[in-house]
Structure 1
Amino acid sequence: MLTYDTLLFDLDGTLTDPKPGITKSVQYALARFNIDVPDLDILAPFIGPPLAESFHNYYGFTPEQAQQAIAYYREYFAETGLYENAVFPGIPALLADLRASNKRLLVATSKPTIFAERILAHFDLAHYFELIAGSELDGTRIDKAEVIAYALASLPTPAYQNAIMIGDRKHDIIGAQQNGLPSIAVTYGYGSYEELQSQQPTHLVDSVAGLATLLEHGTTISASI
């Protein structure tokens, strides 16, 4: 029987589906470098990891180019892409039920905190969370392990010992492990089953309904790793 009372949620691909806004923002940034990517699906791997890492991995940008690309990305994202987003069906009800059960809810995202706060407020989800922890606009605290450590530092020790990280990419699972936390990998987001399984999360679920069953009843409708 699960007894996790403190739940850290990733944002993109876990609570909301940000694909249109993120991919269009990346498309806009790349166009400023005269790189034309008409197919937004090609840019879906940018969802989740730190942007600098993705611009380097997928387009070979130097650190300086990656920072300039992030600045271009934010030109579009801050005004338009932020709201080209949708809450996954079932998430509001799940958060309400968890809070009614006296669970402590936090967000731990690589997205800048200011954007995460605006997104969650826009979708009327911010009030469910005790803390919304993200990266800084100056490029610090972008590693998921650092974000999780920052979130955990806000908790009293008993809560820290009873926490679990929930996310859809390997960075969430690795970050949890580096902080000594168990993890739940969700496959309805943007990490493939193979990507997530390779990191050996504590649990793996394939739907919001499966996540709810695991968190609320201590059982899972998908196999644990």
Structure 2
Amino acid sequence: MNFIILKVFFEAIDFYMCVVVPFNIWKNHAKNIIIIFLEILMFVHNFEKREVLMKNFKYILFDLDGTLIDSALGVKNSFKYALEKMNIDIPSDEVLTTFVGPPLEASFKFVGVADENIKKAIEFYRENYTPRGMYEGETFEGIEYVLKKLKEAGKTLIVTTSKVEYLAVKVLEYNKIANYFDYICGSDVEGKRNTKAKVIEYAFERAYIKNRDDAVIVGDTKYDIQGAKEAGIKSLGVFYGYGQNSDIENADYTAVNSYNILDVLL
């Protein structure tokens, strides 16, 4: 049975129990049962690709927004600020949420910003993000524990993000997890590293990674999974971020929550 269909099914049950059942004890039991089912399904999904799970990855690449940091508020506010400056209608909150993680250029093009105005739109975005937006996020539950365990296991941890590198460093430092990473790799101000695949290649150069079979990227959007395929490495898609579930299902393996990352990588 399709993993995503089952996930949506159990989420529907969770909603029903929270709305219909008035007693907290039963709601808690129902939610616990649903979580257990999801974790079992995730294990089955990954077990089908056992040859991947048996690989002892040395280099763990992490996306930032939507994977390490719950940065939706700051990102959406910065898009609103930029679009107002550009006199462009602000899309729904649902649409703005899909802009968390992908390259800024792609998101601005999606809302109709002309190619010749992309640079200006990005400047407006950073005009709000740098002094305010970057401080409106926090690490996802369990992420610091996951990073700690991976480091204890001797893994080399690398951030690979579409965010400009110097801003990525500031965000990670502000959230007090920068020290877990051996390398922090992001896009450049000039826009030359404007795809996830290019950022991954840049990370390979900095970390002197020769064997691509030793690397895996953890991310929450199709850009992470697509970038992994273009770079010739495996991908681990997380369902707790901002990507579409149908895209995450295309990853080599998956994690329902942050703790499940360890189930796959250790």
**TM-score for the superposition, normalised by structure 1:** 0.90
Match of 1:19 among 69, 72, 75: 72
Q: Which has the larger radius of gyration?
A: 2
Q: RMSD over aligned Cα, in angstroms?
A: 1.5
Match of 1:147 among 199, 203, 210: 199
Distance 1:51 1:65 in 2: 12
Alpha carbons of structure 1 residues 178 and 39: separation in structure 2 relative to 1, 3 Å: closer
Q: Residues 6 and 159 of structure 1 are in contact (CA less than 8 Å); yes or no, is this contact kept in structure 2?
A: no
Corresponding residue SS for 2:148: helix
Question: Which residue number corresponds to residue 44 of structure 1?
Answer: 97
Corresponding residue SS for 1:97: helix
Q: Larger deviation: 28-37 or 128-137?
A: 28-37
Q: Kindly provide the CA deviation profile for residues 19-70 of structure 1, in whole angstroms up to 9, marking residues without a partner as x.
A: 000000000000112235385443111111111111112x211112221111
Corresponding residue SS for 1:191: coil
Equivalent residues, number? 213
Q: Residues 143 and 259 of structure 2 are in contact (CA less than 8 Å); yes or no, is this contact kept in structure 1?
A: no
Question: Which residue number corresponds to residue 165 of structure 1?
Answer: 217
Q: Structure 1, unaligned stretches of length 5 or more? A: 217-225
Q: Larger deviation: 68-77 or 155-164?
A: 155-164
**TM-score for the superposition, normalised by structure 2:** 0.77
Question: Which residue number corresponds to residue 222 of structure 1?
Answer: none
Question: Which residue number corresponds to residue 117 of structure 1?
Answer: 169
Question: Which residue number corresponds to residue 137 of structure 2?
Answer: 85
Structure with the higher helix share, 1 or 2: 2
Corresponding residue SS for 2:98: helix
Distance 1:117 1:130 in 2: 12
Question: Which residue number corresponds to residue 211 of structure 1?
Answer: 261
Q: Structure 2, unaligned stretches of length 5 or more? A: 1-53
Distance 1:39 1:157 in 2: 41
Instruction: Spell out structure 1 runs of 4+ moving beyond 6 A.
Output: none
Question: Which residue number corresponds to residue 223 of structure 1?
Answer: none
Percent identity over the alignment? Answer: 38
Q: Aligned partner of 1:122: which letter?
A: Y
